[in-house]
Amino acid sequence: MRARRLAAAIWRLTVGAMFVVGAICAAVALRAQEMQPGLWPAPAHRTVAREAEADALADQLLTNMTLDEKVGQMIQADIASITPAQLRQYKLGSILAGGGAAPGNDMRTTPKAWLDLTNAFFSASLETGSTTHRAIPIIFGIDAVHGNAKVVGATIFPHNVGLGAMHDAPLMRRIGAATAQEVAAIGVDWTFAPTVAVVRDPRWGRAYESYSESPLLVAQYAAAMVEGLQGAPDSADFLGPGHTLASVKHFLGDGGTLGGRDQGDDQAPETVLAQVHAAGYPAAIEAGALIVMASYNSWRGTKLHSSHYLLTDILKGQMGFDGFVVGDWNAHEQIPGCTKYDCPAAYLAGVDMLMAPDSWQALYSNTLSEAKSGAISAARIDDAVRRILRVKVLAGVFDRAPPLQRPDAGQFDVLGAAAHRDTARQAVRESLVLLKNEHGILPLSPHSRVLVVGQAADDIGTQSGGWTIDWQGDHNTQEDFPGATSIFAGIQSAVTAAGGTAVLSADGSFDARPDAAIVVYGEGPYAEFEGDRETLEYSPGDTRDLTLLHRLRSQGIPVISVFLSGRAMWVNPQINASDAFVAAWLPGSEGEGIADVLFRAADGSIAHDFTGRLGVSWPRTAMPATFDGVKEQARGALFARGYGLDYAQAGSAAHVAHLDEDAHVPADRRTRDTLYHAAHVTAPWSIYLADAGLGAGAEVRLTTARQESPLRGLVVSQDSTGVTARWSGAAPTIFRIAGRAVDYRSRSDTNTAIEFRYRIEQAPTESVLIGVRCMAPYYRHPADAPGNVTTTSSAWKCGSERGAFMDLTPTLKSAPLNAWRTYSYSLSCLAAQGADLSTVEAPFAIATSGRLTLTISEVRLLRQKAVPRCGGG
């Protein structure tokens, strides 16, 4: 307690100076926006071990560090863009391995390669001492968000949405402890978990990273997870061997953005922000959390990374958070006036360490100049660095040996250890929610003949979801999961052990008539904005799963649906077509957990009943009037939060009446083939602006309608009509809708085209080109990876970095001004010119070096049965 008070006093002193300067502006800002600090939870009380030692060492180091060294501590770089030698030179505070990064750029590398990598970076940091002070070790971070799932062979726990359904905080603690051991095994010190978002709109691509729509449950889990990962804050065990630093993310309001748009704007009133979205933070801080990650999203138009009020006044002030705030992946570049290479505003708002994966080097020199000029005050720098150093002392890294010599690292049998897999399997059992069980079809007898059907039945990649081995998790095959069990394999071993038979049939065909069919289907893997959806309809336009259910049903075979998804979805037709329906979420590597509950034991008894209850409300329609789970519940969700059947409920209690099968979704919103529609870019696409002379490295991603374009030649604005691009003629520039490589090949008798609706406001003065850009997956531009990557022409799959284009000039020159027109260009024709359609990264790109003003209201993909007419039209 005393140490805490002392720390608080020091904190007050250090930021005192900033307050004097900032107080007037802050007061004005508070009044102008009617901010109400009083609404927020009171400061959390906690003691953590070695607080006095942390203060003393941090102070001693601070007195002796140079400004360069201080700035270094405030930056985190990604392994894809920094070498240990560079770390030794720049003395950065932290290194991360992002979702797309791995040792040697090999996502499927060995645990030993991971350990060697962390060892190389940590050892390099041990050489950063000077004549005046000892070396300051780095902390190495990774996204172990459902187990240490980037590493092949690790235990993969269910994603958070499934864990929420367990309502079991003690089990959460064990999951945290097991995860920490697997993280420590490869010499990593820090995981970017838990996510304590309170999801309100399940269309959000990160809905599965949220435990629940209930702030209460999120708060309970936040505390349990932090304690599991780090150990109890007041114990000798705290951050000792086998534990790992947690970070609580994303502060704040990530689960409440408008339309569920990732990185979007949360417009919640301050009460809702404080009482719903912030619920996890005081709990996590009390449980010992020392790091909070700032969020990409905005609150009422202000990016969180620039919110002094929320980061400094509320989090550090009102909530008494004395750890440090880390930024998110280049998130600072979204602040008006910032680039990823330069952003004093984020530091001034209260971010202590910026995550600058590929941009760290320029950020370092710009921040150093700003520190020297006083644009970032000495007091702010010292406050940030003191916080980082304190956390490093509290985490014990000053006493830690390099990973190769650590007692808790290098024993790779910890990865995927039997005890951890048992914990994960228990979590799978407890996460399953039974939504329907007509005629008591479940539990099944293990003596029966079961047909296991569906594309996802024997697919550990799909059952694990995003953030698995790589960022999106959508390139994984069965070989990537040694020691793991698919849902089919789990069923097969349960059934064969009892003398029954289980046959796998992806398409539902069979030779011997089965007693029952278990059909496993659901969402494919995705992460972050790539998972944003327009509606909650499952697989719009693709009825293959439903057809399968109907076909089995019509043959008189009882059908059990096991539905895999990162969120509650509108599946009324699928529920109608099933005798039993199980929401299985994203269960991870231990697929047997499903058979554990679906089948009786060999002796006929029920070994495991369904205990999972929904942590999120299940929607009645594909487009609920409000997508807010809690409001949805009030209106009458199909299944309210807390719903879930078990084997005790039979007959009418387990009966679900026939559900409305009309999705009530306007046709233009059903198709995934819309790239852009009325100021809304559809995931995985974003708008990028690029200087044609400089290539991809000079690209800016447009994330808010208000964002300024730093390019000389092109200014873009959006309103509800669409996006207006104004080329000034100052430099050749490209407007792109781009994302990541998508396969646009189609059968040769189909013309795949892009159609867009546009209005010319100023006719072109020079030639205008339209086309696509293609590139190899995971390719990073050299400008983004200083010193580490060399350009290989093979990375660009459409001839050049700029892409493959055709001439749009005559069309635009002859189009009347201010009138809407549509134009389509055939991808097949671009392919004939050498574009590789298997890896289209930007399906829409317009370039000119002259003047032109154009508004685009819609861009979509067409697949037509027609011979391509090359040249467009």
Site residues (vs ligand BGC, CB under 6 A): 98-101, 143, 192, 249, 328-329, 471, 528
Q: What residues have CB less than 8 Å from 129, skipping those under 6 apart?
A: 135, 136
Looking at residue 791, its amino acid is: T
Give the angle subtended at the CA of 74 by the CAs of 72 and 75, to the nearest 5°: 75
Find where tokens 């290479």 sit: 341
328 vs 596 by CB, closer to ligand BGC: 328
168 vs 532 by CB, closer to ligand BGC: 532
Residue 728, H or E segment: strand 723-728
Q: What residues have CB less than 8 Å from 399, skipping those under 6 apart?
A: none
Radius of gyration of the chain (CA): 27
The CA distance from 599 to 825, in Å, is: 54
- Rounded least distance, CB 784 to ligand BGC, Å: 10
- Rounded least distance, CB 249 to ligand BGC, Å: 6
Q: Do the Cβ atoms of 77 and 357 come closer than 8 Å?
A: yes
- Rounded least distance, CB 420 to ligand BGC, Å: 22
- Rounded least distance, CB 292 to ligand BGC, Å: 12
Q: Do the Cβ atoms of 666 and 535 come closer than 8 Å?
A: no
> What six digits make up the tokens of 868?
């391509």
Give yes or no: 528 in active site: yes
Phi, psi of 492 (to 5 degrees): -60, -45
Query: How far is C-alpha 852 from the chain's CA centre?
Result: 37
Give yes or no: 592 in active site: no
- Rounded least distance, CB 65 to ligand BGC, Å: 27
How many angstroms separate the Cα of 65 from the Cα of each of 59, 72, 131, 380, 389? 10, 11, 10, 15, 12
148 vs 426 by CB, closer to ligand BGC: 148
How many angstroms separate the Cα of 808 from the Cα of each of 548, 714, 729, 872? 45, 18, 17, 9
The CA distance from 255 to 277, in Å, is: 7
- Rounded least distance, CB 105 to ligand BGC, Å: 12
Looking at residue 798, its amino acid is: C
- Rounded least distance, CB 328 to ligand BGC, Å: 5
Say which of 474, 528, 646, 836 is annotated catalytic.
528
- Rounded least distance, CB 143 to ligand BGC, Å: 5
182 vs 430 by CB, closer to ligand BGC: 182
Q: Do the Cβ atoms of 609 and 647 come closer than 8 Å?
A: yes
Say which of 266, 328, 459, 523 is annotated catalytic.
328
Q: Do the Cβ atoms of 466 and 584 come closer than 8 Å?
A: no
Secondary structure (DSSP) of 222-233: HHHHHHHHH--T
143 vs 480 by CB, closer to ligand BGC: 143
Phi, psi of 501 (to 5 degrees): -130, 145
Torsion of the alpha carbons at 538, 544, 546 and 550, rounded to the nearest 10: 180
How many angstroms separate the Cα of 460 from the Cα of each of 441, 483, 486? 26, 11, 5
80 vs 456 by CB, closer to ligand BGC: 80
Residue 754, H or E segment: strand 751-762
606 vs 742 by CB, closer to ligand BGC: 742
How many angstroms separate the Cα of 736 from the Cα of each of 117, 476, 687? 36, 29, 6
Looking at residue 244, its amino acid is: T
Please tell me whether residue 554 adopts helix, strand or coil conformation: helix
From the list 711, 19, 672, 14, the residue with the least C-alpha distance to 383 is 14
206 vs 429 by CB, closer to ligand BGC: 206
Give the angle subtended at the CA of 103 by the CAs of 409 and 354, to the nearest 5°: 90
The CA distance from 501 to 411, in Å, is: 38
Phi, psi of 174 (to 5 degrees): -65, -35
Please, what is the end-to-end C-alpha distance for the chain in angstroms? 74
- Rounded least distance, CB 205 to ligand BGC, Å: 11
- Rounded least distance, CB 213 to ligand BGC, Å: 19
- Rounded least distance, CB 436 to ligand BGC, Å: 34
> What six digits make up the tokens of 470?
């790589």
Residue 162, H or E segment: helix 160-166
Looking at residue 137, its amino acid is: P
Find where tokens 């005393």 sit: 2
Find where tokens 């260009």 sit: 825
DSSP 276: I
- Rounded least distance, CB 194 to ligand BGC, Å: 11
The CA distance from 593 to 800, in Å, is: 49
Looking at residue 742, its amino acid is: V
- Rounded least distance, CB 740 to ligand BGC, Å: 9
Q: Is the backbone peptide bond immediately before 194 cis, with ω within 30 degrees of 0?
A: yes
Active site residues: 328, 528
